Amino acid sequence: MNISEWQINLREENLPLLEALSLRVPAAPKAFLRQLCKKQRVTIDGHIIKADHTVRAGEAVAVKASQRWLDCLEQSRIQPEQVLYEDVQCMVINKPAGLAIHRAHGHDDNLLWRVQDFLRLRGETFQVAPIQRLDIGTSGAALFGKGHASISQLGQMIMDGKATKRYLALVSGCITSPGELSSAVPAKGSIKESLTRFKPVASVDEYSLLELELITGRRHQIRYQLANAGWPILGDTRYRGKIIDGMDRPFLHCHHLSFKHPETGRSIEINCPLPEDLCRQMKTLANIVIPLPMASEHFQ
């Protein structure tokens, strides 16, 4: 039987379980959610919990799926486990590969529209906007601001370089030592100096899994610099990456995002696990499984 699983976040903390479920799956009628709890199909940290139970941030929720539950998930636009972090001012969404952040030519569906629909189902009609960019073919953690003031504050935080963004990329080449990629990158019609730090997570034969930290944030920066270094990302045909076993997108994933909340000063750390397609590809190519953090949030 399919099970939906996620963690309670700050937006949901101290709410009754019923209200927390409604925030995650806003297309589901509350009467239906109440019945799920009554039928013992919802657990928290492995324990059957009543609908009026007060939830705490970090608790693990699991729901045994039914066809109606699956229909509600589809109608909600954003899956419960995609919400990696949320408070009243911002949220971090796990973006799938192949989906644009904004509307793009040939890509009418986009993550911003899905988030807007998700919030409208909740009855929340404030402005929402993506704060940082991920390419269409890149998966992983994407930060959104909620409300004009928060969007402005978070945007300034990103521009000032006060957020840490780390990516995982599987590249051609055996790389065994950490280093930096410092070079000029085309950006908005000009050439700008750019810096990316990297360290190898694993190297097998002719491939290496790298963790990369963006110090500057130019468009296609990681892809461009890795290709120029002679280590193109697998699946990235634009930058001479190999196509293996039908891989149809770059092996590039934003797996970590951390920042100090500009409103509260709280330190936020988000981990976003590799999606299944990249895990399969890595195991197929290198015959290894790399231990990586599960989806999680940390705040203090």
137: region left, alpha or beta (phi > 0 left; psi from -120 to 50 alpha): alpha
Q: Is the pLDDT of residue 1 over 70?
A: no
Helix runs in 87-135, H state only: 111-122
Q: For the segment 19-60, what is each residue's pLDDT rounded down to a tens digit?
A: 999 999 999 999 999 999 999 999 999 999 999 999 999 999
pLDDT of 286 reads 62
Tell me if 144 sits within 8 A of 101, measured CB to CB: no
pTM of the predicted model as reported, rounded to 2 decimal places: 0.92
Measured CA to CA, the distance from residue 182 to residue 1 in angstroms comes to 49
Q: What is the architecture, at CATH level 2, of domain 1-76?
A: Roll (3.10)
Domain with CATH 3.30.2350.10 in the chain: 79-300
Torsion over CA: 136, 137, 143, 146 (sign): positive
What mean pLDDT value characterizes the chain? 92
Tell me if 276 sits within 8 A of 96, measured CB to CB: no
Q: For the segment 189-248, what is each residue's pLDDT rounded down to a tens digit?
A: 889 999 999 999 988 888 999 999 999 988 899 999 999 999 999 999 999 999 888 788
> What DSSP designation does 194 have?
E
Domain with CATH 3.10.290.10 in the chain: 1-76
Instruction: Give how far Cα 68 sits from Cα of 2, 24, 72, 73, 133, Å.
Output: 13, 15, 6, 9, 34
For residue 101, the SS3 value is coil
pLDDT of 108 reads 78
> Other CB atoms closer than 10 Å to residue 188's CB: what's the count?
7
Tell me if 268 sits within 8 A of 258, measured CB to CB: yes
pLDDT of 188 reads 78
Q: Is the pLDDT of residue 9 over 60?
A: yes
The stretch 183-193 carries a mean pLDDT of 87
Q: Is the pLDDT of residue 294 over 50?
A: no
Q: For the segment 71-102, what is each residue's pLDDT rounded down to a tens digit?
A: 999 999 999 999 999 999 999 999 999 999 98
Q: For the segment 125-135, what is each residue's pLDDT rounded down to a tens digit?
A: 999 999 998 99
Query: Could you write out the DSSP letters of every residue in 134-179?
Result: --TT-EEEEEEEESHHHHHHHHHHHHTT-EEEEEEEEEES---S-E
pLDDT of 296 reads 57
Measured CA to CA, the distance from residue 165 to residue 186 in angstroms comes to 20
**How far does CA 247 lie from the centroid of its chain?**
20
Instruction: Give how far Cα 118 sits from Cα of 32, 50, 122, 204, 296, Å.
Output: 18, 25, 7, 42, 21
Q: What is the architecture, at CATH level 2, of domain 79-300?
A: 2-Layer Sandwich (3.30)
**Helix, strand, coil tally for the chain in percent (to 5):** 25, 35, 40
pLDDT of 292 reads 47
| Percent of the chain scoring above 70 in pLDDT | 95
Higher pLDDT, 244 or 153: 153
Q: What's the pLDDT band for 289 if we cut at 50, 70, 90?
A: very low
Q: Is the pLDDT of residue 293 over 80?
A: no
